[in-house]
């Protein structure tokens, strides 16, 4: 049986409607540029028209029939595209520019479908290659598809600058009314921890666990902020907290302004200036946040790979492991198996992208039934293979959460009460020795600092 050659997906009417809308209302270019690229146009002369419109907008100059025609003539494309007669025809295609975004979405969608066809052809060609490295071939095939994932809609990575800009806008309304880290370990900014681990080693899965309220997220954000100062690009997947909440935590830590005052917009003029200055500092840091709820392993992998292709990620943080979902949507696996799948996938991702993956984890309630309350590897909640897959397992332990000051002084006469002192216990270290170190938790700023650092002023 002989099949006729299939025509690639396209919609000429939608393409002409986009150009026609731009000729009617030149300002509509700002509505379509976030959606459309010139390469998304199937018909060449429509692509030329759009490229000329982009050139005009970047200078910036008005976009209308006369200016677009002049620009296309300057590029020696006007006559081949059909001259002013074709441009006049396009301007008469649509009566208004109101639906320009809708037309642009159609053009973009058909462009993605064409790219998918080309990607499938490329994957088929890889299948015919007689290469001996199957893993490398699969990675190349995956890359062809991951490059297309940016076309999706919904929640995705946003730069910390966008989160903080929105916070400042809301605040105004209330008051008015790289270091070349491609192969090097990623520094945490905590000298004692870096000395034990040698920094966060690439391709490692690191698990940081604690009971609720001991500061897992705060410590992870402190690591991301410190690493970013060294030029390390961090991707934070937050299943528990929204990106706005994380942005405010980072802002409190950087500005030294109480997180409660930030949330309620209750700060002095001097503190407001510190907030503005901190916003400028954080906005220049390579920190990206994805707060997709009900995050699956497949979604995380796809998003991380795409950001890695675009920004060369150095550190991935997952907050937290037990809130993620496996890929089995039919419910054929129990929760322990699902968490085991998640931990294996995170380890595979660390190796695939050659970056450290820092996954936060909850502890089971068994630790509360132990007199000392000191955590153990067996306390990892729904552990499955977490302990086995992890290269490093760390626990946050705080004595001041287990004893009142009176109880402590009665029990330990010669030892001062360890107020806000956290012990970070390294209980598994595949590449080196075990150990522990102490950090100070500044609760009002939701951040951890070395014991030698002076407390932030109020």
Instruction: Give the residue numbers marked as catalytic.
Output: 240
Backbone angles phi, psi at 423, to 5 degrees: -105, 125
**Could you give the CA distance from residue 9 to residue 107 in angstroms, rounded to a whole number?**
10
- Residue 211 burial by CB count (10 A; 0-12/13-18/19+): exposed, middle or buried? buried
**Could you give the CA distance from residue 283 to residue 145 in angstroms, rounded to a whole number?**
31
DSSP string, 331-384: --S-HHHHHHHHHHHHHHHHHHHT--EEEEEEB-GGGGGSTT----GGGBTT-T
**Could you give the CA distance from residue 18 to residue 32 in angstroms, rounded to a whole number?**
8
Residues facing 316 on adjacent strands = 235, 357
DSSP structural state of residue 234: E
- Half-sphere exposure of residue 16, counting CA atoms within 13 Å on the CB side? 14
End-to-end Cα, the chain, rounded Å:
79
Secondary structure (3-state) at 34 = coil
Backbone angles phi, psi at 290, to 5 degrees: -125, 120
């Amino acid at each position: 049986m002989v099949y006729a050659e299939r025509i690639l997906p396209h919609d000429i009417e939608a393409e002409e409607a986009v150009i026609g809308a731009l000729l009617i209302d030149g300002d509509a270019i700002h509505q379509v540029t976030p959606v459309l690229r010139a390469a998304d146009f199937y018909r060449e002369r429509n692509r030329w028209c759009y490229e000329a419109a982009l050139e005009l907008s970047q200078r910036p100059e008005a976009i209308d029939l006369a200016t677009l025609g002049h620009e296309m003539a300057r590029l020696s494309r006007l006559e081949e595209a059909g001259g002013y007669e074709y441009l006049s025809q396009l301007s008469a295609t649509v009566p208004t520019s109101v639906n320009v975004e809708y037309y642009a979405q159609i053009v973009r969608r058909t462009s993605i479908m064409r790219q998918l066809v080309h990607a499938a052809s490329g994957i088929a060609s890889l299948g015919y290659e007689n290469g001996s490295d199957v893993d490398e071939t699969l990675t190349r095939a995956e890359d062809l598809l991951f490059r297309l994932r940016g076309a999706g809609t919904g929640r995705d990575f946003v730069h910390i600058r966008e989160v903080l800009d929105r916070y400042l806008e809301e605040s105004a309304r209330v008051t008015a009314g790289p270091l070349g880290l491609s192969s090097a370990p990623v520094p945490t900014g905590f000298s004692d921890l870096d000395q034990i681990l040698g920094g966060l080693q690439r391709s490692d899965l690191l698990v940081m666990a604690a009971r609720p309220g001991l500061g897992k997220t705060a410590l992870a954000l402190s690591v991301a902020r410190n690493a970013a100062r060294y030029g390390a690009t961090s991707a934070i997947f937050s299943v528990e907290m929204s990106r706005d909440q994380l942005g405010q935590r980072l802002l409190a830590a950087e500005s030294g302004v109480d997180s409660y005052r930030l949330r309620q917009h209750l700060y002095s003029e001097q503190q407001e200036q510190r907030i503005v200055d901190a916003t400028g500092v954080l906005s220049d840091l390579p920190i990206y946040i994805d707060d997709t709820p009900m995050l699956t392993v497949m979604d995380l992998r796809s998003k991380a790979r795409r950001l890695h292709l675009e920004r060369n990620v150095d550190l991935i943080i997952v907050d937290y492991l037990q809130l993620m979902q496996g890929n089995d949507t039919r419910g054929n696996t129990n929760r322990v198996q699902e968490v085991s799948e998640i931990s294996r996938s995170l380890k595979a991702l660390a190796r695939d992208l050659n970056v450290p993956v820092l996954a936060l984890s909850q502890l089971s309630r068994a630790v509360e039934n132990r007199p000392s309350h000191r955590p153990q590897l067996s306390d990892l909640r729904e552990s499955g293979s977490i302990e086995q897959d992890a290269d490093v397992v760390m626990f946050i332990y705080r004595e001041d959460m287990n004893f009142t000051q009176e109880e402590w002084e009665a029990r330990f006469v010669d030892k001062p009460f360890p107020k806000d002192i956290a012990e970070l216990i390294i209980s598994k270290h595949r590449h080196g020795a075990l150990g522990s170190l102490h950090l100070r938790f500044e609760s009002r700023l939701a951040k951890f600092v070395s014991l030698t650092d002076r407390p932030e002023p109020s």
